Amino acid sequence: MLNKENIGKRIAFYRREKGITQRGLADELHISYQAVSKWESGKSLPTVEMLYEISNLLNVTMDALLNEDERRSWGISYQESGLDTRKLHALKERLQQFIMEDGRIISANYADACLFRMDTAHMK
């Protein structure tokens, strides 16, 4: 039997992982944010069709929304670690500016932000 509360917690978890608000998810699904709130609090369940839409928007499988075991098999998430990925992305954008301005500082573009220490004592 489906546990409404657990499914709601998983919807909320994946929504927050994507940085989407309840209202943002509701707008994408063309429903009220109160409906999203009811799902996440375990008061109701989305329809099968709506679960399909939610899984597409959050880029997860329907099984991930319905099955507690799938999430337990993961390691810790960025959000659970307290790491603010928005700051990492902002840092990446700043680093990209340096790449464009002075190719000597960073000679390659990386898909993810990289943190490193440079010895600038001998630089002019």
Low-confidence ranges of the chain (pLDDT < 70): 68-83, 98-124
Q: Which domains does the chain have, with CATH numbers?
A: 4-80 (1.10.260.40), 84-124 (no CATH)
* Confidence at residue 21, expressed as pLDDT on a 0 to 100 scale: 93
| DSSP three-state, residue 88 | helix
* Confidence at residue 63, expressed as pLDDT on a 0 to 100 scale: 86
114 residue type, one letter: C
| DSSP three-state, residue 78 | helix
* Confidence at residue 2, expressed as pLDDT on a 0 to 100 scale: 78
**Would you give the distance in Å from CA 20 to the centre of its chain?**
8
